[in-house]
Structure 1
Amino acid sequence: MRGSAPLKARRGVDVVKFDVPEPATRQVVLDAYAKAIEANPKTRLLLLTHVSHRTGLVMPIAEIVRMAKAKGIDTIVDAAHSWGQLDFRVGELEADFVGFNLHKWVGAPLGVGFLYIKKDRLADIDRDMGDEDFPEADIRSRVHTGTVNFATVLTVPTAVALHHEIGAPAKQARLRYLRDYWVSRVRAFRDIEILTPDEAGSYGAITSFRLSGKTSKADNDAVVAKLRDGFKVHTVRRAGVAKGQCIRVTPALYTAETDLDRLVEALAIITGTKAG
Structure 2
Amino acid sequence: MSRPDVNVTRRLVMKGAAAAASFTAGAAHASVPLSPSIERTAQELATDEAFWRTIAAQYDVTPDVVNFENGFWGLMAKPVMEAFFRNTEKVNRNNSWYARRDYYTDLQPIHQRLADFLGAGGDEIVFTRGATEALQGLVGGYNRLKPGDGVMYSDLDYDSIQTAMDTLAERAGASVVRMTIPEPVTHDGLVDTYRQALAANPTVRLLLLTHISHRTGLMIPVREIVDMARGYGVDCIVDAAHSWGQTDFRMEDLGADFVGFNLHKWICAPIGAGLMYIRRDRLQDISPNMSERPEGVGSIVNRVHTGTTNFATFLTVSDALDFHALVGPKRKAARLAYLRNLWVDEMRADDRIEILTPDDDRLHAGITAFRFRGKGRADDNKAIVNALVEKHRIFTVIRTGVAKGACVRVTPSLYNTADDCVQLVRALRSLLADA
TM-score band by shorter chain is over 0.9
2:189 alignment partner in structure 1: 28
Please state if 1:271 is matched with 2:429: no
Please state if 1:58 is matched with 2:219: yes
What's the CA shift for 1:62?
0.6
Structure-1 separation of matches of 2:321 and 2:314: 11
Please state if 1:121 is matched with 2:282: yes
1:235 alignment partner in structure 2: 396
Letter in 2 for 1:245: A
In the alignment, is the contact (CA less than 8 A) between 1:134 and 1:141 conserved in 2?
no
1:85 alignment partner in structure 2: 246
Percent identity reads 51
State the SS of the aligned residue for 2:175.
Answer: coil
State the SS of the aligned residue for 1:210.
Answer: strand
Structure 1: runs of 5 or more not aligned: none
What's the CA shift for 1:131?
1.7
Q: How many residues align?
A: 273
In the alignment, is the contact (CA less than 8 A) between 1:190 and 1:271 conserved in 2?
no
Structure-2 separation of matches of 1:125 and 1:7: 12
Indicate the larger mover: 12-21 or 220-229.
12-21
What's the CA shift for 1:44?
0.4
Structure-1 separation of matches of 2:393 and 2:276: 37
- For residue 173 of structure 2, the aligned residue among 7, 12, 15 is 12
Please state if 1:206 is matched with 2:367: yes
Structure 2: runs of 5 or more not aligned: 1-161
Letter in 2 for 1:86: T
Q: Deviations over 1:33-74 (max 9, x none)?
A: 111101110010000000011111110111110111001110
Structure-1 separation of matches of 2:196 and 2:367: 27
Structure-1 separation of matches of 2:288 and 2:213: 29
Distance of aligned partners of 1:200 and 1:188 in 2 relative to their CA distance in 1, 3 Å threshold: same
For the pair shown, which has the larger CA radius of gyration, 1 or 2? Answer: 2
Please state if 1:141 is matched with 2:277: no
- For residue 354 of structure 2, the aligned residue among 175, 186, 193 is 193
Indicate the larger mover: 216-225 or 187-196.
187-196
- For residue 409 of structure 2, the aligned residue among 241, 245, 248 is 248
TM-score (norm 1): 0.94
Letter in 2 for 1:118: R
RMSD: 1.6
- For residue 49 of structure 1, the aligned residue among 210, 218, 224 is 210
State the SS of the aligned residue for 1:160.
Answer: helix
Q: Deviations over 1:85-104 (max 9, x none)?
A: 00111111111001100111
Work out which structure has the larger RCO, using CA pairs closer than 8 Å and 6 or more positions apart in sequence.
2
What's the CA shift for 1:241?
1.7
Q: Deviations over 1:84-136 (max 9, x none)?
A: 00011111111100110011101112221001111111122211125247984
Indicate the larger mover: 186-195 or 68-77.
186-195
- For residue 158 of structure 1, the aligned residue among 319, 322, 336 is 319
What's the CA shift for 1:170?
0.6
What's the CA shift for 1:232?
0.7
Distance of aligned partners of 1:84 and 1:245 in 2 relative to their CA distance in 1, 3 Å threshold: same
1:168 alignment partner in structure 2: 329
In the alignment, is the contact (CA less than 8 A) between 1:209 and 1:246 conserved in 2?
yes
Indicate the larger mover: 149-158 or 244-253.
149-158
What's the CA shift for 1:20?
0.4
